[in-house]
Structure 1
Amino acid sequence: MVKPVIAVTLSSRELADMVFWRRMFDGLQECGAIAFAVDCGTAPLNVAGLLEHVDGLLVSGGVDVDPALYGEDPHDPMVGPTNPIRDDNEIAAVEYACRAGFPALAICRGAQLVNAARGGTLYVDLPRDRPSDVSHRRTEEELATTAHNVDVEAGSRLAEWLGDSGRFAVNSQHHQGIRTLAPGLVATAFADDGLIEAYEATEQPLSAIQWHPEIDWPDNKASRRLLEGFVGSCQGLQPCHAASAR
């Protein structure tokens, strides 16, 4: 069977700060895909030319989304480094994927970016703007371990990939979060504090999550199932795994 080709967007300028970035490619390949990197962070890209022959798109995590995209103050002291060039390239990549009809999975920053680009809003800084007892921001090194639970909605694409709905333990490393969803998007998972942790487009094969299954997949069965489900969707296959112990 021909392996699906999946483009992974990232910024080469940020790789030095991403301890586990190689796991992202290893995980996709382990689940049956051919994955290649698209450096979105340095210059404007011809997205259509780069993605013309791919079967799927993964938008990876990284720096903060430009606050101008969701109507917040770019000079807010809680806004971290941003990269508007990366924002523009990744927005174009996601919209190309949706027009072409192949699956796209946006992770962490990617989930926030897509929502903001489509008219949704974000919390600039969760500890300040939406404090809770849930640990949403761990260190980069702690991404290999779980941080909190999420409840996945039945009937969602995410539940299909996971093989089940209900409660799952996930890792976490984000200080921003989704405040309101853009039109055409529906929430598919929530943290215990009610924060939206995942969503999907109602009319397009677009899914987004706040956690990082591409990093803890070697030790987290649910994360591996999620990656397998995404890769399978890029191949036009339904998930064939059975729900197993989480």
Structure 2
Amino acid sequence: MKPIIGVTTFLSDASKYSTVNRNYVDSVYAAGGLPVTIPIVEGEADYEAYLDMVDGLLFTGGNDIAPYYYGENPVRQLHSMSSIRDEYELSLFRGAYEKKMPIFGICRGIQLINVALEGSLYQDIYSQCPGTLGHSPEHTAADELYHSVQIQKGSKLYEIFGEERIFTNSFHHQAVKALGKNLVATAYSEDGIVEAVESTEERFLLGVQWHPEAMTKRHPKFTGLFQAFVQASLAYKKEVAV
């Protein structure tokens, strides 16, 4: 019995396609889950039927989140917003969170989790965080190790990796600022940028700022993130079936 994992999508530039990078799908499948993509339906706020179909929800990377969701005006460096996607993912998150469904967020996904739980973001770390090191290299393959991440002992992330310091890829210019409700930061880059958050409650809610889905084939240890998520989703599937 495999859990069904819902994978969020984004609108292409021409808004003709609701799509997602296949690395997410491949990584979920390799970890033992059955990935299904959830399309963006413009103007729809009730995704209950989709949530009833899946056992876990994966929030993928992509657009900047509109700052008005956390009470700010945009800085000049903000780009590629999509309020249609924001509303779609916030609706999905609210439903999944209420059900205590396992949730995993990647890059934009960690930011979406934080904003949905009333946290805020650095809209552009390079202009807003003095001393910030490199987090978005150009002309670099997505599966290249780039910078180090310090992981807190006792966290879900430490349980997965079994290490206090790992190297990851990195492709972002926004990051978690004020933490949302019931969240704790469990990993940081060496310049102090939040690299992972987890729930303080008894549930699987994990977000990472890097892109593990692009690393799993070349660096298999990153598959552990997806395996932990899929196993939590399987437990949820069995629980709701009772």
| TM-score (norm: length of structure 2) | 0.88
Residues 158, 70 of structure 1: CA spacing in aligned structure 2 closer, same or farther, 3 A cutoff? same
Deviation at 1:205, TM superposition (A): 2.3
Which residue is 2:189 aligned to? 191
C-alpha contact 1:11 1:42 (8 A) present in aligned 2 = no
Backbone CA RMSD of aligned residues: 2.4
Matched, 1:179 2:177: yes
Deviation at 1:43, TM superposition (A): 4.3
Residues 68, 133 of structure 1: CA spacing in aligned structure 2 closer, same or farther, 3 A cutoff? closer
C-alpha contact 2:24 2:213 (8 A) present in aligned 1 = yes
Note the residue ranges of structure 2 that are not aligned, 5 or more in a row: 237-242
3-state SS in 2 of match to 1:200: strand
C-alpha contact 1:172 1:212 (8 A) present in aligned 2 = yes
Task: Answer with 54-63 or 38-47: which moved more.
Answer: 38-47
Which residue is 1:170 aligned to? 168
Residues 84, 140 of structure 1: CA spacing in aligned structure 2 closer, same or farther, 3 A cutoff? farther
Which residue is 2:68 aligned to? 68
* Residues 202-241 of structure 1 aligned to structure 2 (within 5 Å): 202-203=200-201, 204-236=203-235
* Residues 97-176 of structure 1 aligned to structure 2 (within 5 Å): 97-132=96-131, 134-139=133-138, 142-162=141-161, 164-176=162-174
Which residue is 1:51 aligned to? 51
Residues 4, 206 of structure 1: CA spacing in aligned structure 2 closer, same or farther, 3 A cutoff? same
* Amino acid in structure 1 at the alignment position of 2:64: D
Deviations 1:31-86 (A, max 9, x none): 11100111237442531111102111000001100010122213x32110111121
Which residue is 1:6 aligned to? 5
Name the CA distance, whole Å, in 2 between partners of 1:92 and 1:225: 28
Name the CA distance, whole Å, in 2 between partners of 1:205 and 1:220: 23
Name the CA distance, whole Å, in 1 between partners of 2:120 and 2:141: 27
Deviations 1:66-114 (A, max 9, x none): 010122213x321101111211111121221122122100111111122
Name the CA distance, whole Å, in 2 between partners of 1:62 and 1:116: 15
3-state SS in 2 of match to 1:52: helix
Deviation at 1:22, TM superposition (A): 1.1
Q: Which runs of 4+ in 1 moved over 6 A?
A: none
C-alpha contact 1:41 1:86 (8 A) present in aligned 2 = no
3-state SS in 2 of match to 1:24: helix
Deviation at 1:177, TM superposition (A): 0.9
Task: Answer with 35-44 or 192-201: which moved more.
Answer: 35-44
* Percentage identity across paired residues of the two chains: 33
Give the count of matched residue pairs: 233
Note the residue ranges of structure 1 that are not aligned, 5 or more in a row: 238-246
Which residue is 1:244 aligned to? none
Deviation at 1:141, TM superposition (A): 5.2
Name the CA distance, whole Å, in 2 between partners of 1:50 and 1:140: 37
C-alpha contact 1:122 1:180 (8 A) present in aligned 2 = yes
